[in-house]
Amino acid sequence: RFPVNSLLVVCFGEILVDFVPIVPKDPFVEEPAFKAAPGGAPANVAVGISKLGGSAAFIGKVGEDAFGNILANILKKYNVDNSGVRFDHNARTALAFVTNGADGEREFLFYHHQTADMLLHESELHVELISKARIFHYGSLSLIDEPCKSAHLAAMKIAKNSGAILSYDPNLREALWPTPEAACEGIMSVWDQSDIIKISEEEIKFLTGDNDPNDNVVFEKLFHPNLKLLIVTEGPKGCRYFTKEFRGRVPGIKEKPVDTTGAGDAFVDGMLYSLAFDLNLYKDEERLKEALVFANACGSFTVTKQGAISALPTKEEALRVRVKAAL
C-alpha cells in the first residue's frame, strides 16, 4: 500500500477496548457508567501519526468478536494500514476499565488473561509491511508471554534488517506482569536493540531502583552505546532529552487536565511524525527541540479531552496549542 521509501511508521503490539467513565468518579465502584473507547498504546500511536497527516500501520491481534471488528474498523477509519491485524477465533479482544482521579490521573483494571493480543504468532506477521517501515515502534506488553514475545522479537529483527529505526516506549503496566522482577527483566530485554526510547520518570525509578531520576542517573544507567535518542517525559513539566552529543530540557505546555489517557502516546506520535520526515533530527539540537515542543503540544492537547484516540490532535490542533504556548 505504501512505497518502500515512504514515511511509514509501523506500530506493533496491543490494541484493546478501554472502558472510560462517562462521569469521572473515584473509586471504580462509584462509576455510574462506562463508555467503550479504542485504546492500546501502539494502536494509539499509529492513529495519532495518521491524524497528524503521517503514514502509519498497525500490527497486532484481536478476537474475532464484536470488539475486534470495531477496533480493526477504527484503524481503517483513521487511515491506518490494518493489513497486519490478525483475528483469533478462540480468544477474546482485551479490555481495560479506566478510572480517573481528581487530577485526571488514571487507574487501570485489565481483563487481559490469554486475550487475543498476546496470541499473535511469528508465522502471522505481515513481513512485507514490516520491511517497508521507516520507523518500527513497540511497547513492552507484547513481551510478557508467548507466542507474542517471539513474534515481537522476530518483527524487530525484520525491521532492523530492513533499515528501520527502532522506537521503544516501555509503557509499564506492572499489574500485567507476573512479578516486578519479570517486568524489569522483560522491559530491559530489548533495551539495547532500540534506537530511540521514550520513558517516564516513574519508569526510571522502577527500572533503576533509584528514587532520584536526575540526568546522571538516567545517562549512566539507561543510555546504551547504540542509542540515538533517549527522552524522559515529565508530564506537564515537559521532557528531557539525551543523545551522545548533548542533553537538555524542553518545558511543557500547561493545560487543565480532564483525562490524561493517551497523553504519553500523543507525545510519542508527535515525535515520530517529525522523525519520519527527518531521520537525522536527533543530530541537530535545535531541530530536535523544535520537534519536542510539537510533541509536548500533542500531549497537552490530548489531556483536555476524554479518551485516547478521540482526543489525539490533528496537526492544526497541535500547532494551535504550540502557538498559544509561545505567546
* 35 occurs within a structural domain: no
* 45 occurs within a structural domain: yes
Q: Is the pLDDT of residue 312 over 70?
A: yes
* 159 occurs within a structural domain: yes
Question: What pLDDT score was predicted for residue 4?
Answer: 43
* 115 occurs within a structural domain: no
Peptide bond into 225 cis (omega under 30): no
Query: What whole-number distance in Å separates Cα of residue 189 and Cα of residue 231?
Result: 19
- Give kind and range of the element (H or E) at residue 66: helix 66-77
Give the closest residue to 126 by CA, choosing from 87, 90, 89, 86. 86
* 212 occurs within a structural domain: yes
Cα three-residue angle 165-8-321, rounded to 5 degrees: 95
Amino acid at 32: P
* 67 occurs within a structural domain: no
Q: For the stretch 283-305, what's the b/e string if a residue is b when 16 or more beta carbons lie within 10 angstroms of its beta carbon?
A: eeeeebeebbbbbbbbbbbbbbe
* 180 occurs within a structural domain: yes
Helix residue spans in 136-262 (DSSP H): 148-161, 180-188, 201-208, 215-222
Higher local confidence (pLDDT), 153 or 323? 153
Q: Give the domain range for residue 211.
A: 9-14+41-59+79-84+131-326
Total domains in the fold of the chain: 1
Q: Is the pLDDT of residue 217 over 80?
A: yes
- pLDDT for 47-86, tens place per residue? 999 999 999 999 999 999 999 999 999 999 999 999 999 9
Give the closest residue to 62 by CA, choosing from 54, 52, 74, 51. 74
Q: Is the pLDDT of residue 324 over 80?
A: no
Q: Show the cell assigned to 32.
A: 455510574
- Work out the pLDDT band at 29, boundaries 50, 70, 90: low
Do residues 123 and 95 lie in contact, with contact meaning Cβ atoms separated by under 8 Å?
Answer: no
Length of the chain: 327
- Work out the pLDDT band at 259, boundaries 50, 70, 90: confident
Amino acid at 111: Y
Give the closest residue to 73 by CA, choosing from 17, 123, 21, 2. 17
* 26 occurs within a structural domain: no
Antiparallel, parallel or unpaired: β 165-168 and 229-233: unpaired
Sign of torsion over alpha carbons 246, 248, 253, 254: positive
- Work out the pLDDT band at 210, boundaries 50, 70, 90: confident
> Phi/psi at 147 (nearest 5 deg)?
-85, -5
Q: What is the CATH number of the domain that holds 193?
A: 3.40.1190.20
- pLDDT for 117-150, tens place per residue? 999 999 999 999 999 999 999 999 999 999 999 9
Instruction: Give the chain's end-to-end CA distance (angstroms, integer).
Output: 41
